[in-house]
Chains A and B, each alone.
Chain A
Amino acid sequence: MFRGKGDLFRWTIMVLSALVLLFIVAPLASMALNTGKSEFFSTVADPDVRESVWFTLRISFLSTLFFAAGAIPLAWVMARKQFPGKKIIQGIIDLPVVIPHTAAGIALLGLISREGVIGKAAGAVGLNLINNPVGTALAMAFVSLPFLINSARDGFASVPEKLEKAALSLGAGRSRVFFSISVPLAWRSIISGFVMMFARGMSEFGAVVIVAYHPMTAPVMIYERFSAFGLTYARPLSVLFVLVALVIFVLFRMISVERKVRQIPDANA
């Protein structure tokens, strides 16, 4: 059947790749196939479920938008500036990805609980961050910020520095250069990072469940239904939320179809 070693190699690669893809697709497919139509539609019709899904999307979006204001400038600094301790800063940025998200939730809880620094400050203006949408947003942002920062950083790094220098030499101030040259040219990476952060935030469970069990996000509601009522009851909501996530991704892919990247020769001294 095999004509040579090259074919054996190719088949091995194909089989291994297919197994990995199957591993991702199979549980999702089986979950979808095991969910009855009527159960699914009654879940979709459930006002609590709808509210929970909208709440999750809304809070994750707002949280991403709010933190982007600081994350994008930080990404630019990480792409452009050399300074002592830069590696440590990069390590800190990546930290939320590598630590257990329940631990992240505990850490955040310490900060925003009534005894914590932020919690006290919020309490002073009559805001309780525990079991509050703001708490949910903070938990989502904490674990998903690295996706935006790192993607935007790669985007800024791919903008030839010469273009920024040219804008400066043409008389633009630093902020003008940032907003009219750097950001527009890194736009794709920034948007891509934004979507990744949004997606990661909305699917976060570990940190959110510790900081804000209520109002209930969809991942928390899935867990609650599973622990209280079992697999069958948790499945339709899971299918719904996976579908929502898929739709968002497909839409994103459609609007960000990779155009041919313009090549700009890089600076040389």
Chain B
Amino acid sequence: MPMLSVSNLSRRFGSFSLKGITFDVAEGEYFVLLGRSGSGKTKLLELLAGLEYPDSGNIYVDGVDKTRERPQDRNVGLVFQDYAVFPHMTTYDNIAFPLRVRHVSEAEIRNKVTAIAARMNIVSILSRRTHNLSGGELQRTALARTLVVSPRLLLLDEPLASIDASLKDDIARLLRSLNRAGQTIIHVTHDFAEAIGMATRVGVIHNGRLIQTGTPSEVFDHPVNRFVARYTGVRNIFRARFKKEGATWIATTEKGLRLILEASEYPDAGMLIIRSRNVKLFTGIGNTDKQNLITGIVVEIVATPSGIDIEILAGERIFASITDGEHLPEDLREGSEVRFSMDPADLVFIKRTGSDDSE
């Protein structure tokens, strides 16, 4: 039985609505909900936390229907984006707040607050007012305040978005260690790189619908549509027609690029994607029996932290990412001719298109 089970959840918010959200989260999972701002991911968290109620659908925690229960009866903790730490209280009083509303004795409160503060590494700021704490300290305070009552499920809204880059790793490590210690987490973010780094499973939400769930590699290597592909950083997306010539499937893109595909069954038309790291420049060294060996013109060369990105015009615009250490053609420059290959195994056919295909 999944720890959290969300079934066909729908809710209208003015002109926006969440539609038919269905997913499960298993005990101990780190589930990342990925979506752009305005996609409905924060609203979904508020429904799970009980701050809003759905128009239809159900939320089960450990098999018990919690759809209509009040926030305090759900055992679900929510950490808001920008933390929502109470500015008129000290760090200690912030963390003690959920215990005080549960009428825990002051002695026990002291023990619990001190213990969680030690775990979050914020003992030194317990007596401080919160208005001049750093982003990282506020985040730890908000986490401590939520975790002090040991929620079954921890909901995090963009936990890394408002923190200095230098502190992001600290908080990310803290969240992973919480998860390793058994805490089930749902983490909402707009940043797909963050999602890959944290998630055991990912859900992509767009325009109020959950359009794909799966492990990070399932989602990133086999996006269900153009939106997910683009969102996960794919830049080479082609509309193509498919045709079997003898035993070989050939794709012809809109701009006339002919590509050999892996043996499979294809419809008449659809989308093809290839990750830019799988576009290999041909250096003239090594084997020349590569399939889909194409010649194009280098349009732009851009340095990246890990190497260079090259934009090539070969009928279609094609992006190649070359990491440091890979061989480069000697005379590579903007305007020069370049040969590159795309392995049929790396050309991914996108099954589903349609209404969710918008960007």
A residues with a Cβ closer than 8 A to B are 160, 162-163, 165-173, 176, 180-181, 184-185, 262, 264-265, 267-269
Whether A171 lies near B37 (C-beta < 8 A) is no
Of the A-B pairs whose beta carbons lie under 8 Å apart in the complex, a sample of 6, sorted by A's number, is A163-B86, A166-B80, A171-B98, A171-B101, A264-B87, A268-B42
| B81 in the interface (beta carbon within 8 A) | yes
Q: B352 near A: Cβ within 8 Å? A: no
Pairwise interchain contact B82-A170, C-beta atoms closer than 8 A: no
Q: Is the CB of B72 within 8 A of A162?
A: no
Within the complex, what minimum Cβ distance (angstroms) separates A263 from chain B? 9
> How many Å lie between the Cα of A46 and that of B214 in the bound state?
87
0/1 string, B299-324, CB within 8 A of A gives 1? 00000000000000000000000000
Q: How many residues does chain B have at the interface if contact means C-beta atoms less than 8 Å apart?
A: 30
Total A-B residue contacts, Cβ distance less than 8 Å:
72
Chain B residues with Cβ under 8 A from A185's Cβ? 86-88
B76: A residues at CB distance < 8 A: 169
- Chain B residues contacting A172 (CB-CB under 8 Å) are 72, 97-98, 101
Task: Apart from A163-B87, A169-B77, list 8 A-B contacts with CB within 8 A.
Answer: A165-B46, A166-B78, A166-B80, A169-B51, A169-B71, A171-B72, A172-B97, A176-B101
Residues of B within 8 A of A176 (CB): 101
Contacting pair B82 A167 (CB below 8 A): no
Q: Are A162 and B101 in contact (CB-based, < 8 A)? A: no
CB closest residue in chain B, given A170: B98
Residues in A with CB closer than 8 Å to B209 are none
Q: Does B345 contact A (CB under 8 A)?
A: no
A165 and B84 form a contact (CB under 8 A): yes
Cβ of B226 under 8 Å from chain A: no
User: Once the chains bind, are A162 and B84 in contact (CB under 8 Å)?
Assistant: yes
A171-B72, A171-B102 given; A162·B87 CB < 8 A:
no
B38 within 8 A of A: yes
Among residues of A, the one whose C-beta sits closest to the C-beta of B148 is A170
Q: Quick one: which of B50, B84, B98 has the most chain A CB within 10 A?
A: B84
Whether the pair A173, B97 counts as a contact (CB closer than 8 A) is no
| B12 touches A (CB below 8 Å) | no
Q: Which single residue of chain A is at the shortest CB-CB distance from B16?
A: A269
Given contacts A160-B84, A173-B72, A265-B82, contact A165 B51 (CB under 8 A): yes
Least distance between B189 CB and chain A CB atoms (Å): 14
